[in-house]
Amino acid sequence: MKRKINSIFCIIGILFLLAFSACKTESSEESKTAFDPQKESEEADGDLPYRWLSTYGFFEGDLKNLSPIEELIPYEPASSLFTDYAHKSRFVWMPEGEKAKISGDELDLPVGSILIKNFYYPEDFSKPTGDRRIIETRLMIHQANGWEAFPYIWNDSQTDAVLKVVGGETQVKYQDENGKNQVINYLIPNKNQCKTCHNKNEKLDPLGVEVKHLNSEKKIKGESVNQLAFWANEGKLEGFLGENRHPKMVDYSNESLPLAERAKAYLDINCAHCHREEGPASTSGLFLGYDQNDPLKLGINKTPVAAGNGAGSFQFDIVPGKADESILIHRMKSTEVGVAMPEIGRTTIHQEGVELIRAWINSMESSPN
């Protein structure tokens, strides 16, 4: 009997220590490990979104390695949106038995799909696969009533990311490719700000997963393949007719390609989510989609509708042959609120992007005086 009582007290003691340890862990988001089976099992029974990124089970092993499970499909747009030089990894998850569909030039993802976008900085940009710091993971979840966006902020120990609908700000330090130390105040948008860019006819809409963005090659599982063809071969896409039967966009960072195509690809991925007929900047009359060929809609010799201070002392969006007299360059070179374009998503100037658009404008034939 005495031995039995001792055993009971021993069990009680162990349970007490476990409970105390759990309470201590729960008291600090920073100390939470990447996998807490009991907590995550309970949370996973609830409705989306989950509080912790780890609960979704998107990645295997240590969460910071971002090693995707087999069900995730990696993707990458042909040209990438500039976000303060952050590196990104992107994945899409679709419910079992469901697939995306191409209708015309549109790509529709089934209800239940989740887009996963990780933002991180290598400590040394000359060693992009070396040590890194993951800043945030943004999820877009296709629910029955439409798309919803949810920002997850990573802790300093890189064990997990927590849902923060209010967004945040964090200082990031890294060494660029030239060996120069850089420090930026990285801004994480709040949930409501997501619609500033992800806006199509006043509804939240994904970016970067359009047909023209994904009709390009990416190395997947060690092999370079057309992304849409890969989705189709995996049984996750219908309506794909072959890469030459669908629109495609170039990679603006590829200097071997024609300058005009690169410039328009840059404007498409960085500006056209607002500057299109379905976007919030539709009243500007400035439409910067990749397939736009109307000079006036591209801003050539076009006066702004209502740029205010954003126009500075300049008269036209684009002055052919005179990039530094063009409002487009003026706004790209600024970080001032009310002047800088895009309005959110960057706190620094994309020097390479500015030089690309400057070269494109300067290559245009100057208007006669």
In a domain? residue 17: no
Query: Per-residue DSSP letters for 279-313?
Result: STTGGG-----TT---TTTTTBT---SS-GGGGTT
In a domain? residue 77: yes
The pLDDT assigned to 338 comes to 86
In this structure, the answer to whether residues 192 and 266 fall within a common structural domain is no
Residue 3 has pLDDT above 70, yes or no: no
Mean pLDDT across the stretch 7-23?
34
In this structure, the answer to whether residues 267 and 166 fall within a common structural domain is no
The total of other beta-carbon atoms located within 10 Å of residue 23's CB is 9
Helices (H), strands (E): how many in the chain? 8, 17
Beta bridge partners of 250: none
**245, 279, 309 - which closes a domain:** 245
- What pTM value is reported for the model? 0.84
In this structure, the answer to whether residues 240 and 295 fall within a common structural domain is no
**245, 277, 310 - which closes a domain:** 245
The pLDDT assigned to 222 comes to 87
Asked whether the beta carbons of 217 and 186 are under 8 A apart, the reply is no
Asked whether the beta carbons of 107 and 209 are under 8 A apart, the reply is yes
In a domain? residue 24: no
The pLDDT assigned to 217 comes to 95
Which one, of 244, 276, 271, lies nearest residue 328 by Cα?
A: 271
Supply the mean pLDDT for the chain: 85
In a domain? residue 241: yes
Long-range CB contacts for residues 337-341, cutoff 8 Å, separation at least 24: 338/308, 338/309, 338/310, 339/309, 339/310, 339/312, 341/271, 341/310
Distance CA 115, CA 209 (A): 9
In this structure, the answer to whether residues 175 and 317 fall within a common structural domain is no
In a domain? residue 150: yes
The pLDDT assigned to 256 comes to 97
> For residue 42, what is the enclosing H or E element?
helix 37-44
Mean pLDDT across the stretch 146-157?
94
Residue 64 has pLDDT above 70, yes or no: yes
Mean pLDDT across the stretch 68-74?
96
> Residue 149: CB partners within 8 Å, gap ≥ 6?
138, 139, 140, 191, 194, 195, 198, 204
> Residue 1: CB partners within 8 Å, gap ≥ 6?
none
Q: Considering only 28-42, 57-71, 225-239, which range has the smallest mean pLDDT? A: 28-42
Residue 201 has pLDDT above 70, yes or no: no
The pLDDT assigned to 283 comes to 86
Residue of 44 and 212 predicted with greater confidence: 212
The pLDDT assigned to 21 comes to 38
Reading across the β-sheet that carries 100-103, which strands appear in turn?
106-108, 100-103, 237-238
Which one, of 213, 173, 167, 210, lies nearest residue 190 by Cα?
A: 167
The pLDDT assigned to 66 comes to 97
**245, 267, 290 - which closes a domain:** 245
The count of domains in the chain is 2
Asked whether the beta carbons of 171 and 78 are under 8 A apart, the reply is no
In this structure, the answer to whether residues 233 and 268 fall within a common structural domain is no
In this structure, the answer to whether residues 196 and 309 fall within a common structural domain is no
In this structure, the answer to whether residues 117 and 139 fall within a common structural domain is yes
The pLDDT assigned to 31 comes to 34
In this structure, the answer to whether residues 277 and 232 fall within a common structural domain is no
Percent of the chain with pLDDT over 90: 68
In this structure, the answer to whether residues 302 and 226 fall within a common structural domain is no
The total of other beta-carbon atoms located within 10 Å of residue 237's CB is 22
In a domain? residue 253: no
In a domain? residue 250: no
Residue 313 has pLDDT above 70, yes or no: yes
Domain that holds residue 265: 259-362
Model confidence at 343, in pLDDT bands (50, 70, 90)?
confident
In this structure, the answer to whether residues 177 and 285 fall within a common structural domain is no
Mean pLDDT across the stretch 243-262?
96
Q: Scan for tokens 């190395």, then name that residue.
A: 219
Percent of the chain with pLDDT over 70: 84
Mean pLDDT across the stretch 282-303?
93
Degrees, nearest 5: CA angle 191-194-198: 145
In this structure, the answer to whether residues 71 and 160 fall within a common structural domain is yes
Residue 62 has pLDDT above 80, yes or no: yes
Query: Per-residue DSSP letters for 46-67?
Result: SPSSPSBGGGG--EESSGGG-E
In this structure, the answer to whether residues 174 and 317 fall within a common structural domain is no
Mean pLDDT across the stretch 58-78?
97
CB-neighbour burial class of residue 57 (10 A; exposed 0-12, middle 13-18, buried 19+): middle
In a domain? residue 142: yes
